[in-house]
Amino acid sequence: MPAPLLAPARQRRWPPIVIALLAQLIGAALTVGVAYVLAPMDVVLRPIVAALLTGVFAAVLGTLAGLDRWWIGIQLLFVPGALLASSAALPRWVWITLFAVLAVTYWSTFRSQVPLYLSSTKVRAALVPLLPPGPFTFMDVGSGLGGVLTDLSTQRVDGEYHGIETAPVPWVISWLRIRLGRRANCHAHWGSLWDCDLSRYDVVFAYLSPVPMAALWDKVQREMKPGSRFISNTFAVMSAPPDQVVPVDDLHKSTLFVWLHHRAQ
């Protein structure tokens, strides 16, 4: 992958959302410039073309500014999506409800830069052989909708499964899922993983984003007990080579990174 022309977004002082918005604004200005240049030739940009052009400019600018890959699709589709949505004549309460649901679902994403996406079924299956023999305690830091907990708890009934989730709606869904499924060995906690004491668990699982991995690794080293294991879906720790790497043949070509018997590096 070519090196970004500007410093990567996460090393800059501005959060990615600010860079993304700036790229959109500059993209819109460039589109106005293109429309201005084309006007004497009697070429008028249709709104959807102008929106797509703005998306392309914003995506290119975002790439140059070193935004992570998953931002680029958002950059590309944001203005065309907004245009299409605004042309659908929906009542105002639909938009307000939609905004409220998204706000409580993605509660902490702005600050944590960890959105909600779920481990695939194949990842959950690949976790089973990585669990230790005998009774154990398991913690999913950032447990989303609780699917990892409920799946594993049926595969390995001798485990005690905990998840901590900061966003209210996913947490409520996971809590209900556990309650309604009568899963006595699963527990969903509402709170921040940074307030969670990892020394109580034999296995800690994370599927977050590249952003918190260095700080999480520090926490793992400080708190996890000898003999325990830390497993990360997809996101490695730059400073610490894993003890085991498990490729998973799912849609995203996920990888599980496993650190055994954590120790000071």
Binding residues for ligand SAM (CB under 6 A): 108, 112, 114, 116-119, 140, 142-144, 147-148, 164-167, 170, 192-194, 207-208, 233
Cβ proximity to ligand SAM: between 66 and 142 the closer is 142
Residue nearest to ligand SAM (CB): 142
Looking at residue 131, its amino acid is L
Cβ proximity to ligand SAM: between 228 and 233 the closer is 233
State the pairing for strand pair 244-247/203-206: unpaired
- Report the nearest approach of ligand SAM to the CB of residue 90 (Å): 27
- Report the nearest approach of ligand SAM to the CB of residue 54 (Å): 29
- Alpha-carbon dihedral angle through residues 199, 200, 205, 208, given to the nearest 10 degrees: -60
- Report the nearest approach of ligand SAM to the CB of residue 136 (Å): 18
Among 248, 249, 245, 243, CA closest to 261: 243
Q: Residues near 262 by Cβ (< 8 Å), separated by ≥ 6?
A: 220, 221, 224, 226, 228, 229, 230
Cβ proximity to ligand SAM: between 55 and 163 the closer is 163
Do 212 and 238 contact (CB within 8 A), yes or no? no
- Report the nearest approach of ligand SAM to the CB of residue 93 (Å): 26
Q: How far apart are CA 236 and CA 193, in angstroms?
A: 18
Cβ proximity to ligand SAM: between 65 and 196 the closer is 196
- Report the nearest approach of ligand SAM to the CB of residue 174 (Å): 9
CA 8 to chain centre: 18
Cβ proximity to ligand SAM: between 115 and 132 the closer is 115
The values of phi and psi at residue 246, to 5°, are -120, 105
